[in-house]
Amino acid sequence: MKKPLFVKKTNLQELGRVQDRITFIYLEHAKLNRQDSAIKVIDSHGIVYIPVAIVSVLMLGPGVDVTHRAMELMGDSGVSVVWVGEQGVRQYAHGRALNHSSRYLMAQAKLVSNTRSRLAVARKMYQMRFGDEDISKLSMQELRGKEGARIRRTYQNESKRTGVAWSRREYKVDDFNASSPINQALTSAHQALYGLCYSVVVALGASPGLGFVHTGHDLSFIYDFADLYKAEISIPIAFDVVKKYGKSDISDHTRHAMREKFKETKLLERMVSDLKFLFEIDDSQEVSVQNLWDDKNGLQKFGVQYKEFPEEDDSNDSSNYD
């Protein structure tokens, strides 16, 4: 009988921090297996080894076969695995997060569950887009209208800058090729941005679904978060790609251009900082990964034996909640 193969689980301290990782890698029509601490990728061009500890997100397109051992490695290493459609333009499923602490999730849930704090975070997100302009007295309706006008101006300005014709944003979810080249490029650019936003959000342990502006969708907060960067990153890239390549391989060229832009602007590191700012996360505070909740005494230590009757010194009566 063949002896089972055991591989030492990766220690969290051995992994690269979220802000230091490669943004994303897209794969299609390939077989994925595990080779030590790397993903072995086999396709028609040969074999490539990807060290998963330095990757943020793997986008797996059509024709990808992945083994259980490869998925185990990606899960242990905190790689966000996203199953996507052809050329990465649709998202179908995803993997697990890197962060074992729930402090981002708890902070997010607390902020989104109260009308005042939710409005405060939404204002923060709009303020990040409008710079020094005072928007403190605007309602959410007024803020949405102001943001809509800003994005329309962005499209018009990029059209003038590049000479690429622009009329309006339109696309068919089920037919990527039915839209104009610029709309195809915008779809591809936004999807790449969504993938990176998703990777940061889940890697830090926040919820993709608890949005402050968008709501009701399992990716509501991803859309909130991505809107912070579209006018600066994905929209200009889309217009640049169409200007340079026309109708030729738009999704490929857009994805490559986005990846270079992510690297050039160090967007991954910036996203981590922005998320901490929005949720008011203080890194100087010591965080315990797991505690027990108590309605009167606050957080209690996990993994110790608690006496059933604290007022009695009877070591025989104890309950272990470990």
**Domain locations in the chain?**
12-94, 103-279
Task: Give the separation between CA 230 and CA 277, rounded to whole angstroms.
Answer: 19
Q: Please give the annotated binding residues, written as ranges.
A: 147, 214, 227
Does the pLDDT of residue 317 top 80, yes or no? no
Token pair, residue 64, equals: 């990808």
> Which of 243, 290, 237, 286 shows the shortest CA–CA distance to 265?
237
Instruction: Tell me if residue 176 falls in helix, strand or coil.
Output: helix
> Which of 91, 92, 125 shows the shortest CA–CA distance to 108?
125
Each residue of 183-197: pLDDT tens digit? 999 999 998 899 889
Beta bridge partners of 51: 38
Chain-centre distance for alpha carbon 58: 11
What would the mean pLDDT of 201-219 be, rounded to a whole number?
90
Say which residues have a Cβ less than 8 Å from residue 102's Cβ, sequence separation at least 6: 205
The C-alpha angle 77, 56, 223, rounded to 5 degrees, equals 125
Task: Give the separation between CA 259 and CA 237, rounded to whole angstroms.
Answer: 10
Instruction: Tell me if residue 102 falls in helix, strand or coil.
Output: coil
pLDDT of residue 6: 39
pLDDT of residue 5: 42
Q: Please give the annotated binding residues for Mn(2+), written as ranges.
A: 147, 214, 227
Counting every residue written for the chain, the total comes to 322
Q: CA 251, 254, 260, 263 torsion: positive or negative?
A: negative
Contact between 277 and 100 under an 8 Å Cβ cutoff? The reply is no
- Domain 103-279, CATH homologous superfamily name and number: CRISPR-associated endonuclease Cas1, C-terminal domain (1.20.120.920)
| Residue showing tokens 């309006």 | 168
- Domain 12-94, CATH homologous superfamily name and number: CRISPR-associated endonuclease Cas1, N-terminal domain (3.100.10.20)
Say which residues have a Cβ less than 8 Å from residue 132's Cβ, sequence separation at least 6: none
Each residue of 144-160: pLDDT tens digit? 999 999 999 999 999 99
> Which of 193, 200, 198, 199 shows the shortest CA–CA distance to 272?
200
**What stretches of the chain show up as alpha helix (H) in DSSP?**
68-76, 103-112, 115-130, 140-162, 181-203, 220-226, 235-245, 250-265, 267-279
pLDDT of residue 38: 87
Does the pLDDT of residue 112 top 90, yes or no? yes
Does the pLDDT of residue 292 top 60, yes or no? yes
